[in-house]
């Protein structure tokens, strides 16, 4: 806002300086025209020139009113002879920038009305001045310019039409830029909604899978091993609360900006992997976690790491029937390596429907950063997911 205000003030100062200079040149040219001698006093030439030029100062803020005042002043000065014959082009010169501003700011209809009214005023008053004064080329054989009203009117019409066309082109260009900006904003919103949909997919899929597994375990061992059943129920409670918090955070993004009730929480990252693994551990399923060098990961990359590990562990719990899983996350030299390996049944015997969709989602996340993802059934048994994601730290971008 301050920058725009500075541009507006600077433009107004430039217009004010131009108005003063044009007033001086028009008045002095009128008092000493190349054609017949100016018969009125200087007290007529100077106010007439000022009335035509001073609206330039406000042409950026009020383009149409400024143009109307200036055209009226130029028409009156021309018709009454307060403008010098042979220098009418100078009298109408300040109209061109004001017509440009009006064409750039006004709509199609009003801009056409402004052009038509301006040209009509010049087309009526210039011939009238020559007719009223009876000026012909023979009256001033030593004139510095050809004293034909057709010449002066033609030059004025060309300059005014050029200014109007330039203003319309600028307005068209601005409209195209604004349309591109709106499209870019819509695309950004669509991308953000797609990201939110993926986040909700990961959160709901992981959490409900874990809750279902833990609920099944608690139901089978409730009477024989109440301690393990209680631990499973606690895991269900923690998982459901965590899922509700993350879902609430994502849905808050879709609220209006002026909604002060939104409760925002930081996105999960590599630092939250320990909590994720702790929720998944059970007497029948052990998870070994190794995390190194992830302190400088960008937030978006950290979230991607978290989701890949989350999706991989969800697939292990649902499909692999594994008793142990090793999770390794190492970041070094601008690349974060992720590996999740289990000792379950392997990929061939797994249910390929949901797990396949999860692998597709992980591959999309990794590809977005220019990384690589590989999945394979281990020769010694089990399944392995490995990903390498390049990243740039804040220090590297400075």
Confidence of residue 251 (pLDDT cuts 50, 70, 90): low
Domain with CATH 3.30.565.10 in the chain: 281-398
Confidence of residue 21 (pLDDT cuts 50, 70, 90): very high
pLDDT average, residue stretch 388-393: 84
Q: Are 79 and 129 in contact (CB under 8 A)?
A: yes
Query: Cα separation of 330 and 384, whole Å?
Result: 16
CA 249 to chain centre: 24
Contacting residues for 390 by C-beta, under 8 A, at least 6 apart: 334, 335, 369, 370, 371
> What pLDDT sits at residue 179?
87
pLDDT digits (tens, 9 = 90+) for 45-87: 889 899 999 999 999 989 999 999 999 999 999 988 888 788 8
The 10 Å Cβ neighbour count of residue 174 is 12
CA torsion sign, 93 to 98 to 104 to 108?
negative
With pLDDT > 90 as the criterion, what percentage of the chain qualifies?
Answer: 27
Helix/strand/coil percentages in the chain, nearest 5: 65, 10, 25
> What pLDDT sits at residue 122?
92
Confidence of residue 340 (pLDDT cuts 50, 70, 90): very high
Confidence of residue 350 (pLDDT cuts 50, 70, 90): very low
Structure pTM?
A: 0.52
Query: Cα separation of 232 and 239, whole Å?
Result: 10
- Topology of domain 281-398, per CATH? Heat Shock Protein 90 (3.30.565)
Query: Cα separation of 190 and 156, whole Å?
Result: 51
Query: Cα separation of 116 and 110, whole Å?
Result: 10
């Amino acid at each position: 806002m301050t920058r725009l205000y500075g541009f507006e003030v600077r433009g107004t100062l430039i217009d004010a300086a131009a108005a003063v200079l044009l007033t001086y040149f028009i008045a002095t040219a009128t008092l000493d025209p190349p054609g017949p001698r100016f018969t009125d006093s200087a007290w007529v030439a100077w106010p007439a020139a000022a009335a035509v030029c001073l609206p330039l100062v406000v042409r950026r803020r009020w383009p149409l009113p400024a143009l109307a005042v200036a055209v009226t002043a130029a028409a009156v000065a021309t018709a009454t002879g307060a403008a010098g014959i042979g220098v009418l082009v100078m009298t109408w010169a300040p109209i061109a920038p004001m017509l440009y501003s009006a064409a750039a700011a006004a709509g199609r209809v009003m801009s056409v009305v402004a052009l038509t009214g301006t040209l009509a005023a010049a087309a009526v008053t210039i011939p009238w001045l020559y007719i009223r004064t009876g000026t012909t080329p023979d009256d001033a054989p030593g004139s510095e310019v050809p004293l034909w009203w057709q010449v002066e009117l033609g030059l004025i019409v060309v300059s005014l039409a050029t200014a109007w066309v330039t203003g319309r082109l600028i307005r068209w260009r601005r409209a195209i830029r604004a349309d591109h900006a709106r499209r870019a904003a819509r695309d950004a919103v669509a991308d953000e909604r797609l990201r939110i949909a993926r986040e909700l997919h990961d959160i709901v899929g992981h959490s409900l899978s874990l809750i279902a597994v833990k609920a099944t375990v608690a139901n089978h061992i409730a009477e024989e091993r109440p301690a393990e059943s209680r631990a499973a129920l606690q895991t269900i409670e923690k998982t459901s609360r965590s899922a509700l918090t993350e879902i609430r955070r994502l849905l808050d993004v879709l609220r209006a900006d002026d909604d002060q009730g939104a409760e925002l929480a930081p996105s999960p990252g590599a630092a939250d992997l320990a909590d994720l693994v702790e929720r998944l551990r059970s007497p029948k399923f052990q998870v070994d976690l190794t995390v190194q060098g992830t302190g400088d990961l960008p937030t978006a990359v950290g979230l991607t790491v978290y989701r890949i590990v989350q999706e991989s562990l969800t697939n292990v719990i649902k499909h692999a029937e594994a008793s142990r899983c090793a999770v390794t996350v190492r970041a070094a030299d601008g690349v974060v390596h992720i590996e999740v390996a289990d000792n379950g049944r392997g990929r061939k015997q797994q249910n390929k429907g949901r797990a396949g969709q999860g692998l597709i989602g992980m591959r999309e996340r990794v590809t977005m950063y220019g990384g690589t993802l590989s999945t394979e059934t281990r020769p010694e048994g089990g399944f392995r997911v490995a990903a390498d994601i390049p990243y740039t730290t804040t220090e590297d971008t400075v």
